[in-house]
A and B are shown apart, each in its own frame.
Chain A
Amino acid sequence: MRPVYMVSGGVSKFAKARPDATFQKMVKEAFDYALGDIPRLKPDRIDGSVGSYFSDHFTRQLMAGIMATDYLGLCPKPNKRIEGGGATGGLCFQSAWESVASGRMNCCVAFGFETMSRVQTWKGNEFIALASDTNFDYPVGGFYSGYYAMMVNRHIHEFGTTVEQMAMVSVKNHRNACFNPYAQKQKRLTVRDVRNSEMVAYPLTLLDICVMSDGAAVCILADEETAFRLTDKPVRITGVGTGTDMMRMADRPHGKVILAPNEKESDYRNMKYPGVHSFRAGRSAGIQAYKMAGIKDPIKEIDFIELHDAYTSSEIQTYEDLALCRYGEGGKFVEQGHPFLPQIDYGLKLKKKGTIPVNPSGGLIACGHPVGATGLMQAVFAFWQIQGSIRKHFGSGELQLKKANRGLIHSHAGTGTYVTVSILEKGW
């Protein structure tokens, strides 16, 4: 496999609704931004593309992928659609990586989008819930927030995680987003605000849950030679991992923990794993990516993380899957301040602030979650962090981390069925 680099990215402003634009136009906005950032790339040097969007129901347009491809002027070059629920964008990013790593393409565009505003929120929740077993799960619960609520109630039961710890994730991500002009929601919140907002599925409130959005994102990947011709600051993709788990939570095993490189069997004497409290796919994806990137102790060797926080609870569960802390310690991890940005004031007392900033962009909770775009959006924000170009792209440098040489992006589908982890590093 050849080394692969990310050379540019672009994101459309995520919004609750973009009636002014079709999905093709939103993708075009992100694509033109990415091209504008590396003027040395002429479109005829692009060898092909991969596109991602989650739901044909939301789009009400089959073969939307080719329509975006033709709008971008990328016909008759190769293209295909990538789909895997909430992890659609992360899978698309890795598919573009595969296209370049294999030598099939020297320069590949990954684009993703979702138009979720075309139906009412509760119909949208129905569409999303169709991504659960329609024989046994959809007809009983039919609501993803309910599924995640059940998972975190078990996490609370096993490990003593608190709703206040979950609320701290919401405070952090909404606050970070105040400095990200692409974010859909920019809010200064308190733990009390989060707990007092409307209860959606106990114990998850409205502010524990991401919103639906319209938006698009684009990443451009290239081989080493092309990358250095196009930009002085390419970002190398040094690790990829993809994990899966059974669709029905009810089917998940209650066995032994899959150990991360920094863990030992005696860390987990009586744990039944993953049960419904942890995401085995996230652990599997993380371990693969760590192995490929040569990472032994993630918290020490990674500078920041953009992870899939569709729920505050799943951010906490993901700290553990990614072995930033042991299983069961995710709640304390956020309470102590580890995933906060050192330079931002959150109105919270934090003992160990900023060990490893998580979701400096604001994450899905604040940026929004146009499903097919989300995983690529994370890649773009991580790319800008590593390049040190946050000020240029956000218009202000508050979120720029001092040390951002190596970042991790993490994309996650329905109750942890598909999870992708990719490691991005300073490549120059």
Chain B
Amino acid sequence: MAKKRFGSAKPPLHGRKAKIEEVMTGATVYNVPFPKDLSTLKGMSPIVIRHPYSVEYLHSYGQDSPFFAGIANGKLLGTRCGPCRYTYATPRLHCARCGEETDWTELPLEGRVHTFTTCYFGSEEFLKETPFHLILVEFDGVDTLLLARLIGVEGPEEIRIGMKVKAKFRRNSQLKPTDMYFVPS
């Protein structure tokens, strides 16, 4: 039906009479103002158009994938370097100190707040979740920290550095690091 209305079903003209098809999609503007005197053009206001831009990525967690399988199963996994025994709370498959491949290891489910903040604003993607609390968690016997959300407190005044926190897991995994979060223990 639409085809008929805009006449696009007609065969295109040939030669000098060839013409691009008129469309009514997006912004359609009639009578764009234009001065007779070209010397005034440099004073014109800029033309700004809207340009939506959406991309769907196939984001692979790559060698970090076991971490996400772990939190989907209620297990918190870090990695440990065999030769130097350095233990990473945020996993990495190769040790940054000695270069050796690390092994997966279960982390304790209880840790302490190393530092924190409460975000009242955020990136567009997370704006609807504000305010939310971020903590870096330290664990006994583990050399590095883990970034996570803290749930179950009202505001930053209820969070203390050193306070004990306990890992919890979403029942329905979304295969994101936020499948795991912490609450005061």
Asked if chains A and B come from one complex, the reply is yes
Please tell me if the beta carbons of A143 and B119 are within 8 angstroms of each other in the complex: yes
Stretch with Cβ within 8 A of A (4 or more), from B4-12, B85-93, B101-109? B85-93
Chain B residues positioned under 8 Å from A122 (CB to CB):
121-124, 127
A126 at the interface (CB under 8 A from B): yes
Complex: chain B residue closest to A20, CB-CB? B46
B116 at the interface (CB under 8 A from A): yes
The residue from A134, A139, A145, A249 contacting B178, defined by CB atoms under 8 A apart: A139
Q: Which of B35-65 contact A (CB under 8 A)?
A: 45-46, 48, 51, 53, 59, 61-62, 64
Evaluate whether A125 and B177 lie within 8 angstroms (CB atoms) in the complex, with A19-B46, A153-B117, A157-B115 already known. no
A62 at the interface (CB under 8 A from B): no
In the complex the two chains form, what is the Cα distance from A413 to B148 in whole Å?
22
Evaluate whether A136 and B124 lie within 8 angstroms (CB atoms) in the complex, with A202-B117, A251-B144 already known. no
Q: Chain A interface residue count: which class?
A: 35 or more
Please tell me if the beta carbons of A276 and B145 are within 8 angstroms of each other in the complex: yes
Please tell me if the beta carbons of A139 and B120 are within 8 angstroms of each other in the complex: no
Evaluate whether A153 and B147 lie within 8 angstroms (CB atoms) in the complex, with A122-B123, A146-B119, A251-B92 already known. no
A201 at the interface (CB under 8 A from B): yes
Complex: chain A residue closest to B157, CB-CB? A202
Could you tell me the distance in whole angstroms from the C-beta of B160 to the nearest C-beta in chain A? 9
Could you tell me the distance in whole angstroms from the C-beta of B140 to the nearest C-beta in chain A? 14
Q: Which of A121-171 contact B (CB under 8 A)?
A: 122-123, 125-126, 128-129, 134-137, 139-143, 145-146, 149-151, 153-154, 157
B69 at the interface (CB under 8 A from A): no
B75 at the interface (CB under 8 A from A): no
Evaluate whether A146 and B134 lie within 8 angstroms (CB atoms) in the complex, with A134-B59, A250-B144, A250-B146 already known. yes
- What sequence of 0s and 1s flags, for each residue 106-136 of chain B, a beta carbon within 8 Å of any chain A beta carbon? 0000000011111111111111000000111
Could you tell me the distance in whole angstroms from the C-beta of A151 to the nearest C-beta in chain B? 7
The residue from A139, A146, A249 contacting B145, defined by CB atoms under 8 A apart: A249
In the complex the two chains form, what is the Cα distance from A143 to B134 in whole Å?
10
B83 at the interface (CB under 8 A from A): no
Could you tell me the distance in whole angstroms from the C-beta of B22 to the nearest C-beta in chain A? 27
Please tell me if the beta carbons of A120 and B115 are within 8 angstroms of each other in the complex: no
Please, could you name 18 A-B residue pairs with CB atoms under 8 Å apart, sorted by A? Answer: A19-B48, A21-B46, A120-B124, A125-B123, A134-B59, A141-B122, A141-B147, A142-B122, A143-B121, A145-B121, A150-B116, A154-B114, A198-B120, A200-B120, A202-B120, A250-B136, A250-B145, A253-B143
Residues of chain A whose beta carbon lies under 8 Å from any beta carbon of chain B: 19-21, 60, 120, 122-123, 125-126, 128-129, 134-137, 139-143, 145-146, 149-151, 153-154, 157, 198-203, 246, 248-254, 276
